[in-house]
């Protein structure tokens, strides 16, 4: 197996942490994209992007807080251009469940000329155990705006498995 150099943005978050762990266990060289790492990566500081991308072959893109927020499209456009300049060969974008703004970000990656995979996920199961629902659960009551709404939840471990498979097998490109 050929060792790859992979930048994992959000590498300390729900899916990124799991992706980084799996790739490292498989012997790949993983760089965590985070403000607290060296080199640092910060979505709000485009000057940090080139150094984080330097020497990397591939990148897992997670945008915080979400691809549907104002400013995400501009950031994804800028980062994708920087990734192309850095010689990135494959990009995997974690996207949402069909929000218009997220789909615009997907198109940027799709039209980049670089091998790509889009991973669409909804809310994470871990929202109940690692995130914003946890306190409410521990207090015994979770209040949501519409209790009859059907919302699919995906386990972050399953997402990480899909992302790793997409990095390691070109049959998932496109």
Q: How many CB atoms lie within 10 A of CB 49?
A: 24
Provide the CATH topology of domain 5-121+156-172.
Answer: Rossmann fold (3.40.50)
Residue 101, pLDDT score: 92
Query: Kindly report the CA angle at 146 between 140 and 152, in degrees rounded to 5?
Result: 85
Please report, in tens digits, the pLDDT of each residue of the chain (174 residues total). 688 999 999 999 889 999 999 999 999 999 999 999 999 999 999 999 999 999 999 999 999 988 989 999 999 999 999 999 999 999 999 998 778 999 999 999 999 999 999 999 877 655 666 666 667 767 888 776 676 767 777 888 999 999 999 999 999 999
Q: Classify residue 65 as exposed, middle or buried by CB count within 10 Å of its CB (0-12, 13-18, 19+).
A: exposed
**Looking only at Cα atoms, what is the longest distance across the chain?**
50
CA-to-CA distance for 40 and 54, rounded, in angstroms? 12
Residue 155, pLDDT score: 86
pTM exceeding the 0.85 threshold for the entire prediction = yes
Beta strands in the chain (DSSP E): 5-9, 29-33, 58-61, 90-95, 115-120, 123-124, 153-154
């Amino acid at each position: 197996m050929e060792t790859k150099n992979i930048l994992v943005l959000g590498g300390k978050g729900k899916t990124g942490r799991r992706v980084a762990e799996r790739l490292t266990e498989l012997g790949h060289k993983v760089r965590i994209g985070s403000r607290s790492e060296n080199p640092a990566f910060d979505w709000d500081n485009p000057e940090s992007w080139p150094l984080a991308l330097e020497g990397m072959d591939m990148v897992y893109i997670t945008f915080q807080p979400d691809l549907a927020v104002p400013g995400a499209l501009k950031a994804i456009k800028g980062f994708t251009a920087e990734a192309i300049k850095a010689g990135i060969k494959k990009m995997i974008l974690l996207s949402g469940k069909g929000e218009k703004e997220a789909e615009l970000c997907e198109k940027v990656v799709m039209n980049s000329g670089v091998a790509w995979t889009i991973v669409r996920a909804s809310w994470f199961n871990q929202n109940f155990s690692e995130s914003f629902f946890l306190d409410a659960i521990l207090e015994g009551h979770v209040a949501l705006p519409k209790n009859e709404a059907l919302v699919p939840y995906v386990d972050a471990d399953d997402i990480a498995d899909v992302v790793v498979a997409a990095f390691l097998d070109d049959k998932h490109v496109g």
